[in-house]
Amino acid sequence: MDMRIHMRWHLPLGSTATLLLCVVMVFLSLPPAVARGQTPAAADTQTPNLAAKSRKDKLPSELARSVRDAIVDGRYEAASQVGEAVLAKSRITAWRYYPFTNFIAAISNDNDVRFEARLSQWVSADPQAALPTLVRAQYYYDTAWFRRGHRFDNDTLPADLAAFHDNLRRARTDVESAIELDGANPYAYYLKLIILRGLGDFSGEQRFLEQAIAKFPAYYPLYDEGLAMREPRWGGTVQAMRQFVDRYAGQTEPYSPLKVLYVSLYRRILIANSIECSVFFSDRSNATDCVRTLMKQQAGPDLEHEVVAALQIYDHADHYEFGLVVKDILLDMLQASGGETYAGAALQLAASAMHSDTQLVENDPGHNDYIIDAVVAQSWSWKGFYDNAISKNREALRDIDKSEFPDEAARDLATSTIYLQMLDPLSYQSRFDDVVAYSRAALDLGNQVDWEHYICYAYYEKREYKAALADCTKAVDDDSGNMLARYWRGLVYQELGNMDAALNDFTAVADSENSYRASAAITVSWIYDTKKEFTEAIDSLNKYTYLYDEKSVRKDDVAVAYNNRCYAYMQIGELQKALDDCTQSLKYGSIPDAFEKQQELVKRLGLSRG
């Protein structure tokens, strides 16, 4: 028999990282409360009391969805009207260009050739308008990364790398056209910068960065991209990053938004050191020692002082916007393997500056900035303490109720973000009714359709396959690039006995760069085997070469791939190839079935030679 792996996969919100919340501060003295221990929270099984949308104004994501629908339907004038209205409302604030940035990010339906064709028709319908061309540039950029994934070049298929560069070149052509048509949109300049970085055109990016900053000196994302392009992984150096930040933030007013670049710099140094120390990740102690050594060399007391000073901006800035930019920085740091102590220290510094408490059980609850609650909750979730994560997320919701927001749309978006953050810990606790409830509430508040797969996943786990199929299909219809929705729909089709439909979904996932692709590819071969189409099973296993690359997939996946191909070769009489594959399988995992087939093949080959 062959073997099909179907483990109970859960859907992580980010890559696994460990956070030591009870940090010993490594570079600054903090109040005694920092070192207090954390008491595990009791299991929280209360029925959720979920917020409902009461506002009339639409979020940028909701407006984006209406534009996407209009594009698909060929209603290009309507799409332009909505987009131009969003542009008219957009302003450069301390750290963002809102609402346009959020709006354009939610329009694209990645890697959808039909959507691309409609976009091109929209561009042709109004060739003098910048907006359609800019939206298509965003589509090409998003599709480039969809096709490539985020693995290193050596771990990415050549065809996917070629598609990546082809889409980026198209994106560059479009964004340059959009800027020629309308040079007043700062986001277009930012988009061109990140496209150039993806293409590896660092000299071109630097020249354009200077032009962009001269035109939009108050647009923070330009500076943060200038910092990113100087990271070692993009060919830069820590010294170059430091010089860039000193140049643009060093001489500004004490509470200038650009001072946050120092916090971002600290993040990028930590991440760079984590990557450099990745050779030690099999030995956690050595990895931590490696990061510590590099941080002492590269992030000394002068930078630490700048980080502390930058965080004091909180009392002189819009708390909501400050929280959004700091949240992204902290979450990035908490995922830097080997840098847990430094990330924990930065979190505590941010909490102190934001007059908040990171403790699980606070002495004086109800005064935190909800962003700190959210970051602490996510850190508990990544550590696997799901009761603690749920407890801190509930505290975030209580603090949202007491906080001031620019408008009710911002409050709804904050609430929906916490609801979504609860889905992982609830899933791991098999609380699937709550997963459905929180998912639907989040979608109602914020229309973040890229999370819809959680609903079909929960129904699948509840074995309510008809309900799962309806929600999986809706998720795919709303976002054809949602490979997780297609993966779970494939499992649903399989349970319902529709193997052809399951094969179609699993093939789409196996062809993608999604992290579930190995499981999907193995299932593709298993379906062919059940249909007794053994040549097709072999062809599929040969097609997905990543299945045999230990750097790209788990060793267990490699073992199963060889085992499945061994079985298929046996069925068509290719006994020597089968024996070779079963032998290879046993090098990667102890699959009893592979051992049994190996022994049988040895006997059969021996008889044929005798």
Mind listing the pLDDT tens digit for each residue in 285-321?
899 999 999 999 999 999 999 999 999 999 999 999 9
157 with 289, same domain: the answer is: no
Last residue of a domain, which of 333, 354, 375? 354
Q: Are residues 245 and 293 in the same domain?
A: yes
pLDDT at 512 over 80: yes
Alpha-carbon distance of 75 to 253, in angstroms, equals: 48
Same domain for 219 and 142: yes
> In the chain, how many domains are there?
3
Q: Which pLDDT value is given to residue 25?
A: 38
Asked if 329 and 99 count as a contact pair (C-beta separation under 8 A), the reply is no
135, 284: one domain:
no
- Is there a domain that residue 413 lies in? no
In a domain, 192, yes or no: yes
Q: For residues 14-29, give the mean pLDDT.
A: 33
Domain's final residue, options 229, 247, 277? 229
Q: Are 118 and 223 contained in the same domain?
A: yes
Distance of alpha carbon 293 from alpha carbon 339, whole angstroms: 11
Strand partners, 92: 97
Question: Same structural domain for residues 220 and 239?
Answer: no
- Among the residue ranges 304-318, 395-409, 441-455, 533-547, the one predicted with the least confidence is 441-455
Determine which of 123-127, 448-452, 576-580 has the lowest per-residue pLDDT on average: 448-452
CATH of the domain at 538: 1.25.40
Q: Span 196-217, mean pLDDT?
A: 97
Give the amino acid at 26. Answer: V
Considering the domain architecture, whether residues 222 and 252 belong to the same structural domain is answered as no
Check pLDDT > 90 for residue 241.
Answer: yes
Q: What is the pLDDT of residue 284?
A: 82
For residue 600, the enclosing domain spans: 533-610
Q: Does 570 share its domain with 597?
A: yes
Specify whether 153 is located in the same domain as 258: no
Boundary of a domain, candidates 229, 259, 274:
229
For residues 370 and 272, what is the distance between their CA atoms, to the nearest angstrom? 29
Residues 314 and 249 both lie in one domain: yes
Is residue 512, in this structure, part of any structural domain at all?
no
What would the DSSP string read from start to end of 266-298? HHHHHHHHHHHGGGGTTSHHHHHHHHHHHHHHH
Q: Among residues 251, 247, 176, 248, which one has the least CA distance to residue 216?
A: 248
Map residue 545 onto helix, strand or coil: helix
d(CA 46, CA 600) in angstroms, rounded, equals: 55
**What CATH number is attached to the domain comprising 126?**
1.25.40.10
Q: Percentages helix, strand, coil for the chain, rounded to the nearest 5? A: 70, 0, 30
Please give the structure tokens belonging to residue 92: 């450069």
Question: Residues 157, 219: one domain?
Answer: yes
Q: Is residue 399 part of a domain?
A: no
Question: What confidence tens digit (pLDDT) does each residue in 342-368 have?
Answer: 999 999 999 999 999 998 876 667 789
The crossing angle, in degrees rounded to 10, of helices 260-276 and 340-353 is 170
- Other CB atoms within 10 A of residue 263 CB: 25
Pick from 446, 471, 353, 519: which is nearest to 57 by CA? 446
